[in-house]
Amino acid sequence: MTDALSLVDDWGPEKIVVVSHRRTGMKGVLVIDNTARGTGKGGTRMSPTVTVGEVARLARVMTWKWAGVDLFYGGAKAGIVADPVSRDKEAILRAFARALSNEVPREYVMGLDMGLTECDAAIIQDELGDRGAAVGTPEHLGGIAYDKLGVTGYGVAEATDSAAQSLGMPLAGARVAIQGFGAVGAAAAARYAELGATVVAVSTAHGGLHDPSGLDVPAVLAAREEHGDAFVNRFSQGAVIDAGQELTVDCDVLVPAALQDVIDVEKAHRIKAKLVVEGANLPTSPQAQEILARRGVTVLPDFVANAGGVVAAAFAMDARYSGFRPETPTIFDTISSRLRANAVAVLEEAKRRNTTPHTAGRGLAEERVRTAMRSKGRLPLG
């Protein structure tokens, strides 16, 4: 069991709230990491394995992600210990929202993460009687359809294109392998194809597909739409590979866009890509990052590469009490300009400091948070 006090460092967390409800069996946690730059904002996840340590780790990622794209919200995250397919899901979700009514939305605004849907965000708003309590609601309630629009995956591809150009490796014609073909991976694949890249491998929990000459991305997307994750076993093009093998196929760009902690020391020695773009949160261990750096492999950090969803969430935050939905072209234009500029800034800072992009990007984000903390009198005197 995690000792909550052991999680506290110079940055946070500012608040850890553990809640429960006997009748529904609800158990959950909210971690508000750092609000020097604004209200705590981060997704709420539901899983039987949620832990305080996991949520705290993800809340810290949000602190760096908001600062990294220079948007004025703070790092926070919430988790509910429950099965998202449970028939009691709505009752548990409502109990969780009620238990956090002191914090939501004044200190934390709920959003979507693993296990929650757009309708769940609407339920949170309904339970607390406040449109400001959550973002990620359905379009017909004024929300931004993150997954339908593919904002995170689009941003991953835009950041990749900018990083590749900075490295002297044009994305057009480059071979890309994608781990995870959910909302992020699928949208990224579609944008990679538009940018002229060749997608040579994709994967789901059911396995992967690999074709060195390039997969037919529109056909793959259509098969996913028809068959879900199992499409990999029904698709006629390419060889079926075991899940995990896509990380080590011969390619120029590798995009881990599924789970955290998938690239460890062993995998780091076997990766053939020249550029790793972190579409998922925390997919590469610190030790693996060092190994990849020594091998000359550039890793574009998650808080830079997958911040497209964060940019879209900022628009949603502004629109919570508005009668007008944000314009979709404006959202995409902002994602592109922000992520492209940040990718180059982080890689140039890493080169200047002779360090990894993670360390360089984290340094830039830390300075922004530190400056805000100093301005608000949150740092020790002296």
- Which DSSP letter does residue 263 get? B
Give, in degrees to the nearest 5, the angle at Cα 367 between 362 and 370. 120
- Which of the residues 27, 65, 77, 267 is marked catalytic? 77
Whether 77 is catalytic: yes
Give the separation between CA 97 and CA 22, rounded to whole angstroms: 15
**Per-residue confidence (pLDDT) for residue 235, from 0 to 100:** 86
**Per-residue confidence (pLDDT) for residue 62, from 0 to 100:** 93
Contact (Cβ atoms closer than 8 angstroms) between residue 61 and residue 281: yes
- Torsion angle of C-alpha atoms 128, 134, 137, 141, degrees rounded to 10: 60
- Which DSSP letter does residue 208 get? E
**Per-residue confidence (pLDDT) for residue 382, from 0 to 100:** 63
Q: With a cut of 50, which residues of the chain have pLDDT below it?
A: none
